[in-house]
Each structure stands twice: as structure tokens, then as C-alpha cells.
Amino acid sequence: MVGQHTLTTVGLILFLSLDWTLSVIPEREVHPSFWNNKGKQALHSALSLKPNVHRAKNSILFLGDGMGIPTVTAARILKGQMKGGTGEEFVLAMDTFPYLALSKTYNVDQQMPDSAGTATAYLCGVKARYGTLGLSASAIRKNCSSTFGNEVNSVLHRAKMAGKSVGIVSTARVQHASPAASYCHSADRNWYSDSDMTAADIQAGCRDIAYQLVHNTDINVILGGGRKYMFPKTVKDPEYASSAGVRGDNVDLTAVWLSNKKNAKYVWNKAEFDTVDPEKTDYLMGLFEPGDCRYELERDSKKDPSLTEMVEKAIRILSRNPKGYYLFVEDEGRIDHGHHASKAKHALTEAVEFDNAIERAAEMTSELDTLSVVTADHSHVFSFGGHSARGNRVTGISLLMSNKGDDNKTFTTLLYGNGPGYKLVNGSRPNVAETEAAANGYIQQSAVLLDSETHGSEDVAVFAKGPMAHLFHGVQEQSYIAHAMAYAACVAPYTDCAIPEPEPEAAHAGAIHPSLVVLLLGLIPALRPLIPV
Ligand SMILES: *[C@@H]1O[C@H](CO)[C@@H](O)[C@H](O)[C@H]1NC(C)=O
Ligand SMILES: *[C@@H]1O[C@H](CO)[C@@H](O)[C@H](O)[C@H]1NC(C)=O
Ligand SMILES: *[C@@H]1O[C@H](CO)[C@@H](O)[C@H](O)[C@H]1NC(C)=O
Ligand SMILES: [Zn+2]
């Protein structure tokens, strides 16, 4: 127990005045052998990592809107704590992806990017202006006539042209900027329906995003929110008496979408969604809310499917195509929206559900033929830090100086650089109680008052696994993501790729079991110094 004593001493030096009931060191971690074994296993994984140089039959891009690195870390700890652990040691599904890169997120005209310009980059491979969708930077925001001739196509569109099935799943409205860049060309991300556009722009030939959703690329699976943009103003919403369609052209776009398709279904609630048999369905559109889906924290599981359930259904339908599929999954328009509202718990709970969906997709697919990429469009001015003991509640308060800042006030370890959380009471920052900070709707404090907290400008991570995942390395322009994914799948402009087809599962049946490898590892002289004595 010498190790334990040493660690406790270090702990005391760091956190002289903290409440010890909050600090929990898992017993195994005081033994050097624990870290040495962990290190050896990680080293073995690194040494045996071989690039999969086969073709990606299937590709899935998971986009955590606004999921910067502090969000990933805080979501990891939250998920671990939800499972009863201290949290820091927890491993997210995305953490297990072997290849990583950093993505530079700026728009051509903005240091701090938005979801539209960034979506055009990572979906179409071309960096664009702030607020524009599926258009090169020659197009100008809100300028309809600058649309024509400047269209750029997404990898999703090109995958469809190559005969694959394609789908989009989002917890935001499906006409939201991130999914929209996969199927539309719009000089403004806010042209959700014709009611959001001027008559002159419509006259000039520009079309709203919802219209383009059903008229451009032939998309097999569309799941998320946004049904109000699909129906005329005269049509009441089936779920909320106070809501109705918003279209001025009197067109029911769901009917248009269904009209030329076989084995196609439109659903708007969980019960209908559950009756959809993926084996008999080629096309599924499910729009579960008039606008964005509810936050995971507020979702009624009887009325709306979770992101994980939507991803599962999408993969089942898409994977029936022998040529494979391309799936775009966005959680979280809602991570982003949670951060804008500076409600960190909302944002982080969404990030946890996002990881659940990644986990479920990993169970349903094979790394041999499916390229999975997880990234974010941009970060937020969200910070995670301040003296906190091991296992400190993610939404908890800092333990610095008897729980106080130099202004004698408590503060949370989650904070925003700017946002709605700026507050003065009698000329100074208010105290924060642990229970107040843990409440669902709590708004974290910020240094500068803004109605809506802003995006961040720093790089975001790209996690990849599967065929050609090793192409995701180093520091890259965000537009590179589309190029690497197109190349891996041999779709335009990389149709002449000479990448061999994926290896069948069976080829790996005779592989050595990992535990045997770990056992044999001890025999490698170079690694012996790492073995605890
Ligand atoms: C809009 O775009 C067109 C075509 O690119 C261009 O000629 C025109 O000057 C632009 N208008 C404005 C107000 O920027
Ligand atoms: C904080 O409290 C200490 C001790 O009561 C006092 O000396 C100090 O002036 C206070 N600081 C502020 C900023 O109020
Ligand atoms: C603010 O100051 C007023 C007047 O001194 C006092 O009554 C009130 O309790 C103070 N509020 C807080 C939150 O300290
Ligand atoms: Zn945003």
C-alpha cells in the first residue's frame, strides 16, 4: 500500500482544502502494474495497427455539431459517471477509433466558422463562405443569382451516382445547415422553405432547402426533425395544435417525395417508425418534430425515436444495397444548440447520445468494409477546467481555494467565454451551489454577455476507422475529409481508383486471438523493461 500513501500525499499537496468525499482514486490505479499493463496493451495495439488499404463499401460520417475537444472530454467523463465510474478513465466509442487528425474549420471569409460553410467543406470537399450551402466561395450569401454555376456536389450525392444507397439522420431539422449541404445548393442556410425567401429570388430560380431535399439527390433514408417546412400553411401539425406547415406554395413535399417511389414510407411518430420493416423498405422519411428534434434530456421515448434508434433503422435499410451505402449522421444540431444556450448539461447529454449511436453503428457494421469517421464542424467557446478532484461531477464546482474564486465566489469547472450566462448581482458575480449547477436547465457563467454563445475558432478532431482510415492523419483543411471519404469509396472524382474490394469477413476467421498476442508480448525483449517487477 506504499503506492496509495504516495498518491494521497500528492493529492493533499494539490488539493489542501478540498472535500475528500469528492475525490475517489480507483484502487487499481495506485499500482504501477496497472499503468504498465495498460501501456503495454496500447503499445501492442499501436505496433500491430495495419492500415486497411481496401475499398470502403460503406461510409458513415458522424458529425457532432459544435463538438469541440473540450466537449468530447466532458462527454467522456459524463458518460463514465452515468455508468457509475469516476469518469476520466472511461473510453468513448469514438475514443477507440485508431486514426486521428485535426481539422482546420475556418470559412473562407470567417475565422470563426458556421455550420453551413463548414458542411460544404467536409461534405463537398470545397471551402465556402459563412452561411452558404453546397456552393463554392464564388457564391455570395443571400445572393440568389450567384448560385448558378457555383454548385458543388457532396460525397453523398456522388455515392448515389455510383449506385450506393444514401441516407441522412439528424437530431436537428433535416433542412438544417449540416445535413443540407449533402443535398442542396443554397446561397442562404436560412432558406428553409419558400416562406423564408423573397418572391424575386424564387422568380430568379432559387429554391428553398426543403424543396431541394425532395428534388435533388434521390435520398433513401431521411430521419430527423423539420416537418413544418414540408407542408402548406393550411395543414395543421399532427402532433401540436399550435403548429402548422409553413409553405406558401401549397405543396405537400412528403407527397411529392412518395409519389415516384416504391417501397417508400413517410412517418412522423415513434409508433409508425417502429412498424417500418427495414427488410421491405427502400425509402424512409421520418420527421418527428415541426422543427428540431427535442433535446435528448427532454425527449419522450414513446413519441420520438432516439438518435441511436434512427441510426439503427437507417443502417438496416441502407445495407440491403449490395453496392453499399453512404450515411451522414448529425447529432446534434443539439450539442451546438445546447452550447449556444450555455446549457452545458444539455449539450453534453447530446454528445453522450451521439456516442451511443456511434457505438451501436460499430456493432452493426464491420471495420473490414465500412469506413467510419467522427468529427465536428466547429468548436464553441466552451472551457472545461479549474481545480477539480478526480471524479468531480462534470457539472460540478471548482475546488480551488476553499471552493471559491479570488472574488470569494464559487465557480463551475464548465464555463463559457461569452454567452447568456454573464450575470452580476449587486455588482459582482453570483455564487454557484453544487445542486444549482447540476440542475438540467442551469446556464453556465460567461465573461461576456451575449444572447447566444458563439462558436469557437480552434481545430476540431477527426476520428476514423475502417478502410483507408489512415488517410486521416496530421493537421488538415476541413475540406480534406470529403476527399479522403470519396477516395476510400472510389466515388467521383476518384472513380479510377485502384483500391481492391474489401476482404470478406471469413478471411480473418483464423486470426490470432488478441489475448494470445498480449501473452506473447512478454517474449519480445524490447518490451521487457515495461513489465513491472
Ligand atoms: C450577386 O451575384 C451576381 C452574380 O455573381 C453579381 O453579378 C452581383 O453583383 C451580386 N450582387 C451583390 C449585391 O453582391
Ligand atoms: C474575500 O474574502 C477575504 C477574507 O474575508 C477578504 O479579505 C477579501 O477582501 C475578499 N475579497 C473580495 C474580492 O471580496
Ligand atoms: C443585494 O443588495 C441588497 C441591498 O444591500 C440586499 O438586500 C440583497 O440581499 C443583495 N442581494 C444579494 C443576492 O446579495
Ligand atoms: Zn451553432
Does 148 contact ligand 1 (Cβ within 6 A)? no
pLDDT score, position 248: 98
Smallest CA separation from ligand 2 atom 1, residue: 408
Ligand 4 ion: Cβ-proximal residues, 5 Å cutoff: 336
Taking CA atoms, 295 is separated from 247, 299, 464, in Å, by 25, 6, 26
For residue 408, the CA-to-ligand 2 centroid distance in Å is 6
Q: Model-level pTM? A: 0.89
Binding site members for Mg(2+) = 65, 176, 178, 330
Give the whole-angstrom CA distance, residue 483 versus residue 137.
18
Query: How does DSSP classify residue 410?
Result: -
Contact indicator for 348, 75 with CB cutoff of 8 Å: yes
Cα separation, 128 vs 110, in Å, equals: 10
Which atom of ligand 3 has the smallest separation from the CA of 425?
13
CA dist., res. 56 & res. 486, Å (int): 9
Angle (CA) 284 290 296, round 5°: 85
Residue 312, C-beta contacts closer than 8 angstroms, at least 6 positions apart: 360, 361, 364
Please give the mean pLDDT across all residues of the chain.
Answer: 90
Nearest CA to ligand 2 atom 2: 408
What is the reported pLDDT for 131?
98
On whether the CB atoms of residues 343 and 333 are closer than 8 A, the answer is no
Question: If DSSP codes are grouped into helix, strand and coil, which group holds residue 484?
Answer: helix
Q: In this structure, which ligand is nearest to the CA of 177? A: 4
Low-confidence ranges of the chain (pLDDT < 70): 1-23, 332-333, 400-403, 505-533
Ligand 2 atom index nearest CA of 404: 1
Report how far ligand 4's centroid is from the alpha carbon of 414 (Å).
Answer: 18
Helix (H, G, I), strand (E, B) or coil at 244: strand
- 425 CA distance to ligand 3 centroid (A)? 8
Residue 146: nearest ligand to its CA?
Answer: 1
Q: E strand or H helix at 354, and its extent?
A: helix 344-364
How many A from CA of 197 to the centre of ligand 1? 17
Rounded CA separation 326/57 (Å): 9
Dist. CA 34–CA 138, nearest whole Å = 56
**Distance between CA 294 and CA 172 in Å, rounded?**
8
For the four alpha carbons of 268, 377, 351 and 158, in that order, the dihedral sign comes to: positive
Pocket test for ligand 3, best of 410, 423, 425, 426 (most atoms within 8 A of CB): 426
Cα angle value 329/332/336 (rounded, 5°):
140
Helix or strand or coil: residue 156? helix
Sign for the pseudo-dihedral over CA of 123, 127, 133, 134: negative
Among the atoms of ligand 2, which is closest to the Cα of residue 407? 13
Q: Which residues are annotated as a binding site?
A: 65, 176, 178, 330, 336, 340, 377-378, 455
pLDDT, residue 13, reads: 31
pLDDT, residue 455, reads 97
SS3 129: coil
CA of 176 to the centre of ligand 4 (A): 11
CA-to-CA distance for 91 and 359, rounded, in angstroms? 11
Torsion, Cα of 509, 490, 332, 267 (10° steps): -90
- Find out whether the beta carbon of 407 lies less than 6 Å from any atom of ligand 2: yes
Q: How many C-beta neighbours within 10 Å does residue 230 have?
A: 29
Nearest atom, ligand 3, residue 430 CA: 13
- Going by C-alpha positions, the residue among 381, 369, 375, 384 that lies closest to residue 354 is 375
Residues making up the annotated binding site for Zn(2+) are 65, 336, 340, 377-378, 455
Note the pLDDT of residue 493.
97
From the CB of 426, is ligand 3 less than 6 Å away? yes
From the CA of 201, how far away is ligand 1's center (Å)? 13
| Best CA proximity match to 414, nearest among 366, 343, 352, 501 | 343
Q: How far is CA 453 from the centre of its chain?
A: 19
Q: What is the pLDDT of residue 19?
A: 43
Spatial distance between the Cα atoms of 139 and 148, rounded to a whole number of angstroms: 8
Contact call for residues 76 and 92 (beta carbons, < 8 A)? yes
Our answer on whether the CB atom of 425 is closer than 6 Å to any ligand 3 atom is: yes
pLDDT of residue 16: 35
Do 153 and 146 touch, CB atoms closer than 8 A? no
Ligand positioned closest to the Cα atom of 454: 4
What's the confidence (pLDDT) of residue 506? Answer: 52
pLDDT of residue 514: 44
Residues noted as catalytic = 115
Is the CB–ligand 3 distance for residue 506 below 6 Å? Answer: no
CA of 404 to the centre of ligand 2 (A): 10
What pLDDT is attached to residue 334? 78
Q: Which ligand is nearest to the CA of 149?
A: 1
Distance, C-alpha 176 to centroid of its chain: 14
Cβ contact 182:328 at 8 Å: yes
Of 417, 482, 414, which Cα lies nearest the Cα of 455? 417
143 CA: nearest ligand 1 atom: 1
Distance CA 410, CA 398 (A): 7
